[in-house]
């Protein structure tokens, strides 16, 4: 029998229980137990013999744009679409020495091949200090030739289920609520780490997006900088006013682009959607990130988000590839003006066609869209209407 141990335990919202431990190489692992779970309090010890963790990657600045590009060469040899018998996100068995020692409801752990970290700007727990860390936002925004920094930060994997295949949309309402609690808990913890400027939970779904594991999971990136997309958005807020998100939500709610609405959330196809399938989901109250959501907002989000995802799959009758990007305010700036929201995008423009980003989009970021947002919203509303309430 595997050796077991009692973990560091905390009770979160919605009666979700977090159990914290470490993997064989020192990476942190968190189990998030559903309310009413059938799992016991103990978990198996990770008894694997693992290679040392890779050195933290390096990032280089593009002097033409100010963007920082990370070079994480160890990610080149990641596992590609393994079968169920070799799933690295499944619970460990005698024949599959996976990343998670015990069965679980939801599990979150540090990525073995991260784009950022494990080094931080100063020592924190088991993480080493970086040799050449960013020196704050002023340092990161300064432009010059040949600038490099250590890619401090953290990358985590969020497993929605122990099952080998699926997505967030295939989960139960209870499980979705547990994942939301995990997102909130990890957002708060990662935002407090030294050197972290922004926290980004996301789910890649489908081989067309580049998914390498069919296991239902997402990721969380904790960046050492404010991302380029968010930087442009902060500029837009500065040019239009601090209430931009409130005005944008009111504008969309008055339109025919709303696809789903609750007491606390509205889902809509944005006025200037780029992708053939693009839908945003925004809270009615200002909240900078998951950690700032109250219980009522988290409770409503679970079934509403599931219904939205299942409607997306109902558009063509087969699973749709997508990126579910949860944009959150940076850790230090824009907290009072940047409202968290989901931006779900898919390149699927027909049952058997994908939109590829060719010359104009890829080289110049000058988009041409083939489907009007109003038409996309109508089709999505019709698809959602066919989906039973979760």
Are residue 171 and residue 250 in the same domain, yes or no? no
Are residue 221 and residue 237 in the same domain, yes or no? no
Our count of domains for the chain comes to 2
Are residue 199 and residue 347 in the same domain, yes or no? no
**Residue 1 pLDDT:** 44
Strand spans (E) along 284-386: 322-327, 341-346, 348-350, 353-354
Identify whether the C-beta of residue 28 lies closer than 8 Å to the C-beta of residue 99: no
Where among 200, 225, 250 does a domain terminate?
Answer: 225
* Whole-number Å distance between alpha carbons of 132 and 128: 12
Tell me, what CATH number does 165's domain have?
Answer: 3.30.428.10
Active site residues: 217
User: Which residue range forms the structural domain that includes residue 249?
Assistant: 230-385
111 in any annotated domain: yes
Measure Cα distances from 224 to 68, 194, 233, 373 in Å. Answer: 10, 9, 18, 34
- pLDDT tens string 303-362: 999 999 999 999 998 999 999 999 999 999 999 999 999 999 999 999 998 988 889 999
Are residue 162 and residue 275 in the same domain, yes or no? no
Are residue 116 and residue 216 in the same domain, yes or no? yes
390 in any annotated domain: no
- pLDDT tens string 219-236: 999 999 999 999 999 999
Are residue 64 and residue 204 in the same domain, yes or no? yes
Where among 192, 225, 258 does a domain terminate?
Answer: 225
Query: Crossing angle for the helix pair 244-253 and 228-240, nearest 10 degrees?
Result: 90
* Whole-number Å distance between alpha carbons of 214 and 206: 8
* Whole-number Å distance between alpha carbons of 223 and 226: 7
Are residue 147 and residue 244 in the same domain, yes or no? no
250 in any annotated domain: yes
Rg from Cα positions in the chain: 21
Q: What is this structure's pTM?
A: 0.95
- pLDDT tens string 101-154: 999 999 999 999 899 988 876 644 556 677 888 998 999 999 999 999 999 999
* Whole-number Å distance between alpha carbons of 44 and 281: 38
């Amino acid at each position: 029998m595997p050796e077991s141990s009692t973990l560091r335990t905390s009770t979160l919202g919605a009666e979700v229980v977090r159990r914290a431990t470490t993997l064989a190489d020192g990476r942190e692992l968190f189990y998030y137990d559903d309310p009413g779970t059938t799992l016991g309090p103990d978990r198996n010890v990770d008894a694997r013999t693992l290679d040392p963790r890779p050195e933290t990657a390096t990032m280089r600045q593009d002097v033409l744009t100010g963007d920082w590009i990370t070079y994480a060469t160890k990610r080149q040899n990641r596992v590609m679409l393994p079968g169920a018998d070799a799933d690295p996100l499944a619970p460990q068995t005698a024949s599959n020495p996976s990343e998670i020692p015990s069965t679980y409801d939801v599990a979150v752990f540090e990525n073995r091949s991260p784009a950022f970290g494990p080094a931080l700007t100063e020592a924190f727990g088991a993480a080493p200090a970086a040799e050449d860390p960013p020196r704050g936002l002023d340092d990161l925004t300064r432009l010059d030739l040949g600038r490099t920094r250590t890619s401090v930060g953290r990358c985590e994997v969020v497993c929605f289920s122990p099952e080998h295949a699926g997505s967030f949309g295939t989960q139960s309402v209870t499980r979705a609520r547990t994942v939301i609690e995990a997102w909130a808990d990890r957002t708060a913890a990662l935002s407090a780490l030294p050197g972290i400027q922004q926290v980004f939970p996301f789910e890649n779904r489908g081989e067309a997006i580049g998914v390498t594991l069919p296991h239902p999971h997402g990721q969380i990136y904790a960046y050492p900088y404010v991302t380029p997309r968010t930087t442009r958005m902060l500029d837009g807020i500065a040019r239009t006013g601090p209430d931009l998100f409130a005005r944008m939500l009111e504008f969309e709610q008055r339109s025919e682009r709303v696809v789903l609405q609750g007491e606390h959330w509205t889902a809509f196809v944005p006025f200037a959607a780029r992708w053939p399938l693009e839908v945003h989901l925004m809270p009615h109250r200002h909240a900078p990130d998951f950690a700032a959501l109250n219980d009522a907002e988290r409770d409503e989000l679970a079934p509403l988000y599931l219904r939205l995802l299942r409607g997306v799959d109902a558009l063509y009758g087969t699973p749709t590839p997508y990126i579910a990007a949860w944009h959150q305010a940076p850790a230090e700036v824009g907290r009072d003006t940047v409202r968290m929201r989901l931006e779900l995008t898919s390149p699927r423009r027909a049952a058997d066609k994908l939109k590829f980003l060719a010359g104009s989009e890829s080289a110049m970021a000058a988009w041409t869209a083939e489907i009007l947002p109003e038409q996309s919203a109508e089709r999505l509303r019709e698809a959602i209407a066919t989906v039973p309430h979760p």
